[in-house]
Amino acid sequence: MTDWKKIYQEIEKADSIMLTTHENPDGDGIGSIVALYHHLIAKEKKCRILLTSMLPEEYRFLDPDNKFEIFEEAKHTEWLGNVDLSILLDIGNYTRTGRMWNVIQQNDTTVVNIDHHPYPNGHPFTINISDINASATGELIYSYLKAIDPGCLSKKVYEAIYIAIMTDTGSFSYNNTNVACHEIAANAIKAGVDTAKIHQKIYGSSSRSRIKLLAAVAASLQFTYNGKLVWFKITKEMMKKANATKDDVDGFTDFARAIKGVEVSVMIFDNADNSCRINFRSKGYYSINKIAQYFEGGGHSFAAGAKVIGKISDVSSKVVEKTIEIMKEQEEVID
Ligand SMILES: [Mn+2]
């Protein structure tokens, strides 16, 4: 059991608190922030939410009062440099706090990390809660609130936690789905959360440009390694042609993984700044976080990501080559 009192002591001591999650935030990071934010405000903390990238369209309903801010050096450096406590949620790797990390690091105060990603190479935090058995960071936030502030578990807070768990478990279908997340879902329904409506808000609102881009991706899938590896590029031209935004690509790597015979899928997305975002997914036979770690990224055994500097053509050949190499290595070990 996690010693949540230790975390609460840090929160009690702090007057100003910053909450954040990884760049290109997902439902788990956003839901965890919203749930914890309600608790911190109830404790009369001066709390701000800073992100390094925009809140995706489908999650904007979680922020009716515009509390999510995009980190800007000129606007936030002073505040962030003097904040009493920074809480990082679901970040996977501290580098995924992007430009904010320099400021957080220089600030000589407490940094608490709450996550369900593994940290194989140590960590730079004051307190690190990393529970890889949790389905989602949202499950850990629930555990914290249940232990420390159960009165805070309102319908709104349950809704945020439910979104964290639903999105990180692929709507309760991936192999990280556990007893706790079904219990939380049951409690959320008891608290009045309309789970069908939430599912529709998040997954039933694909933009036309997203589907146009998905069609281009589907037409360009590259199968290799006896069909066990599928990979695809998303170039600037493809994005322009579909009139798509980077949020539109969420879930594409899962879509490719779902193909019969495929074990691993890889997306290589051109960030248009001489770097590429790489997403890896595995059906369960191969651990792909080892590949992500090779490229200084992070993640879980079957869902991971990294950022690689370079042109998309160079990056894709490097990534595909390394992926096959690591898949082969794992076969040797397993056989
Ligand atoms: Mn997560």
Pair 220, 298 in one domain: yes
191-225 tens-digit pLDDT: 999 999 999 999 998 889 999 999 999 999 999 99
Q: How far is the CA of 279 from the centre of ligand 1 (A)?
A: 14
Q: How far is the CA of 29 from the centre of ligand 1 (A)?
A: 6
Pair 317, 296 in one domain: yes
At position 216, the amino acid (one-letter code) is A
Pair 162, 217 in one domain: no
Q: How far is the CA of 90 from the centre of ligand 1 (A)?
A: 5
Pair 243, 319 in one domain: yes
Q: How far is the CA of 287 from the centre of ligand 1 (A)?
A: 17
Q: How far is the CA of 226 from the centre of ligand 1 (A)?
A: 31
Which pLDDT value is given to residue 98? 85
Which pLDDT value is given to residue 250? 87
286-304 tens-digit pLDDT: 999 899 999 998 888 899 9
Q: How far is the CA of 249 from the centre of ligand 1 (A)?
A: 18
Better pLDDT: 75 or 118:
75
Q: How far is the CA of 175 from the centre of ligand 1 (A)?
A: 13
Report yes or no on whether pTM surpasses 0.85.
yes
Q: Which domain holds residue 225?
A: 208-334
Pair 28, 136 in one domain: yes
The CATH number covering residue 59 comes to: 3.90.1640.10
CA 98 vs CA 93, 132, 297: distances in Å: 10, 23, 12
Which pLDDT value is given to residue 121? 66
Q: How far is the CA of 237 from the centre of ligand 1 (A)?
A: 31
Q: How far is the CA of 138 from the centre of ligand 1 (A)?
A: 8
- pLDDT > 70: what percent of the chain? 98
Q: How far is the CA of 171 from the centre of ligand 1 (A)?
A: 13
Q: How far is the CA of 332 from the centre of ligand 1 (A)?
A: 30
Domain boundary among 166, 183, 203: 203
Q: How far is the CA of 92 from the centre of ligand 1 (A)?
A: 8
Q: How far is the CA of 65 from the centre of ligand 1 (A)?
A: 24
Q: How far is the CA of 143 from the centre of ligand 1 (A)?
A: 15
Pair 260, 195 in one domain: no
The per-residue pLDDT of the chain, averaged, comes to 94
Q: How far is the CA of 25 from the centre of ligand 1 (A)?
A: 10
Q: How far is the CA of 151 from the centre of ligand 1 (A)?
A: 25
Pair 199, 212 in one domain: no
Q: How far is the CA of 28 from the centre of ligand 1 (A)?
A: 5
38-53 tens-digit pLDDT: 999 999 999 999 999 9
111-144 tens-digit pLDDT: 999 999 877 567 889 999 999 999 999 999 999 9
Pair 187, 261 in one domain: no
The CATH number covering residue 243 comes to: 3.10.310.30
Q: How far is the CA of 196 from the centre of ligand 1 (A)?
A: 21
Q: How far is the CA of 68 from the centre of ligand 1 (A)?
A: 19
Pair 226, 167 in one domain: no
- Quote the number of domains for the chain: 2
Pair 190, 217 in one domain: no
